[in-house]
Amino acid sequence: MNIRYRSITLRLTLLYSTVALLTLLSVAFVLYWAVVDSVTQDDQRFMSEKVHVLRSMLEQRPGDQRLMEEEVKWETGVLPHARYFVQISDRHGQVLQATPGFERSGIDLAGFPEPAAVDTTVAPMGRQTTARGRTYLLTAAIARVGTTGADSRVLRLALDVSHEDIIFAEFRQIASAVVIVGLALSALLGGLVARHGLRPVRAMAEAAARTSASRLHHNLDSAQWPSELQPLVSEFNGMLKRLDEAFSRISAFSADLAHELRTPLNNLMGEAEVTLSRARSEDEYRDALGSTLEECQRLSRMTDSLLFLARSDNPAGQLQREWFSARDELLTIADFYDAVAEEAGIALTVLGAGDVFADREMFRRAVTNLVSNAIRHSPAGAEVCLRLKSEPDGMEVRVEDVGHGISSELQAHLFDRFFRVEADRRNISSGGSGLGLAIVKSIMTLHQGSVSLTSQPGEGTSVRLWFADEPGKSG
């Protein structure tokens, strides 16, 4: 399984351990390098100083053999942890003086670097490991004899650094042990720190587990949580608020639906009971069936409207926007309602022109619902006007009537599902289910447009639809 799908505690522990391992390795490497470099520089400094001493003795006191023997034979044996050898030979390779044991040390003369010239202050350094397993630091230089410089000597120095290799090996072992122990401790402590650090997350999970339909209003107090979890707490509270609102809408919708369905169902049952209470004539049965059919048609329209609203709550793939003539659609709608309007003594007019970018069927349904409401609420002799206004960034569609109007306290609820003014609720034969304006609002929401209503009691109502050329613009 990929590490990203494992527990956060494990991932943090591995990250802590990786960081600790890299840190320990870096520290161990730096320390080891510092120790090795310091010891190596001390050795090279020691060898350079000995070359300088021997050169000075040969140049300033070339005839003092006793002093030279002390330096070559006896001084080399007083080092507490290491031993170095000196060999002095003439220009022809004849060994003049040498530290006792130089020949038995196993040092190969060919391993010495090229002798440094007389005027060179820093002699080259080299290393050699003998057959006996001893490691030596080697250097060679040329020294003049006397101040005239007529004669010269070849100096070869070898410093035994075998004990330093042992020290370095022990240092590496200790450093390795420290890294291993440190890694184990960092993994253990990292796991404990990760578990402790994730306690707020577990607490949030417990809070989420306690959430139920009856506790959606119990928000988390953002002040009690770490700053890193503040956005999550805010989103969680926002989710609870949205769920609470959704549950409230569903509860209200269910109550309204039950109320709306009860009336036609009671009508159907009452009509059937009255009809079956005694024998009826053929005309009476025909009237009963006609009344039943009317109620079934009302239920069918309500079902269609509810299905449309349910689909509009999940808008993926619902719209098929295209450019078309808004005036042609309004004229088609006016022709469709012409007979109904003429029977009610109402005139339908279409004003304005322009193209709209929308779903043709939904555009037609939204305007149709508005026209149907306008005709139903307008008195005889009134006019219903369908008005278009084309603007640079969209299209405005207005449906205006001079009907009874709506009071301001009711206007805020007109687009709620199943909402009807009391006059409509008493007028069951009007055919309204309180879903027409809710459908209009859903259609405009799908189009990312807007719908607004202005009305004055006794003066009429105007409903404005705004379709933007580019979805998301507001008009």
**Segment 109-142, tens digit of pLDDT:** 888 999 988 888 778 899 998 888 889 999 999 9
Q: Would you state the pLDDT for residue 122?
A: 76
User: What is the pLDDT averaged over residues 47-75?
Assistant: 79
Q: What is the rounded CA–CA span in Å between residue 20 and residue 266?
A: 77
Do residues 176 and 193 make contact, with C-beta atoms less than 8 angstroms apart? no
Alpha helices per DSSP H over 70-161: none
Q: Would you state the pLDDT for residue 426?
A: 40
SS percent in the chain: helix, strand, coil, step 5:
55, 20, 25
Tell me the pLDDT tens digit for each residue of 79-117.
544 578 888 888 888 888 888 888 888 888 888 999 988
Share of the chain above pLDDT 70, in %: 83
The tokens of 417 are what?
A: 């599902």
Do residues 107 and 136 make contact, with C-beta atoms less than 8 angstroms apart? yes
Q: Does the pLDDT at position 292 exceed 60?
A: yes
Q: Which residues face 86 on adjacent strands?
A: 157
The tokens of 416 are what?
A: 């709620």
Give the pTM: 0.48
Q: Does the pLDDT at position 269 exceed 80?
A: yes
Alpha helices per DSSP H over 337-455: 338-343, 360-376, 408-411, 422-426, 436-446
> What 3-state DSSP class applies to 386?
strand
Confidence band (pLDDT; 50, 70, 90) for 430? very low
Pick the CATH number of 3-168 from 3.30.450, 3.30.420, 1.20.58, 3.30.1360: 3.30.450
Give the H or E element holding residue 346: none
User: Token match 């490991």: residue?
Assistant: 129
Question: What contacts 24+ positions apart, CB below 8 Å, involve 167-173?
Answer: 167/39, 168/32, 168/35, 168/36, 171/32, 171/35, 172/32
Q: Would you state the pLDDT for residue 149?
A: 67
Each residue of 229-253: b (16+ CB within 10 Å) or e?
A: beebbeebeeebeeebeeeeeeeee
Confidence band (pLDDT; 50, 70, 90) for 332? very high
Q: Would you state the pLDDT for residue 372?
A: 87
* Top CATH class, 315-468: alpha beta
Do residues 117 and 142 make contact, with C-beta atoms less than 8 angstroms apart? yes
437: closest CA among 458, 406, 459? 406
